[in-house]
Amino acid sequence: MLSEEEIIRVLRAVENVKHKAILMVIYSAGLRISECINLKIKDIDSSRMQIRVEQAKGKKDRYTILSEKTLLLLRTYFLAYKPKVYLFEGQTGGVYSRTSIQSILKVAVLKTGIQKQVTVHTLRHSFATLPMSIGVLENGTNLRYIQSLLGHSSSKTTEVYTHITTKGMEQLKSPMDLLDI
């Protein structure tokens, strides 16, 4: 898991708008790398501030939250790159490379000097478990909402993150919106 300060350092280390948008989407919505690369433009619902994840693990569709800060960066990215079908497309179109995303994160972590073993999945894990001021669960969000956001079929998988709490989904804020970046 990365701390709030480490997440900020990693994101600030990424200068390319597309690369930063990719990492922000993964972190701010708690996505798996496969879910990020398969996102389509139509999956971003800015009016409801949600991201639709189609055919995620277990072939289930789900919705997760869209951070306001991430949406602002996505708009900048969209104007610069003009993707056609997938939100993040490779140089010749189509699905963006999983290894490219891993490389983007690796370079960013190296720039920060963070000594932890950090993977793209670390961003997803950090989404749910950051300290009181930032972590979705620790901000009082009901475990069932987190289970839905993360696409876990079993609540047992989600329970490893923390205790059950009682806020409703309409009160959810992405941890991205609480970062000073």
Question: Which of the residues are catalytic?
Answer: 32, 57, 121, 124, 152, 161
Q: 28-50 as b/e, with b when 16 or more CB fall inside 10 Å?
A: bbbbbbebbbbbeeebbeeeebb
Measured between alpha carbons, how far is 158 from 27 in angstroms, rounded to an integer? 17
From the list 1, 89, 107, the residue with the least C-alpha distance to 38 is 89
Measured between alpha carbons, how far is 169 from 173 in angstroms, rounded to an integer? 9
Cα 85 from chain centroid (whole Å):
20
Q: Is 2 left (phi over 0), alpha (psi -120 to 50) or beta?
A: beta
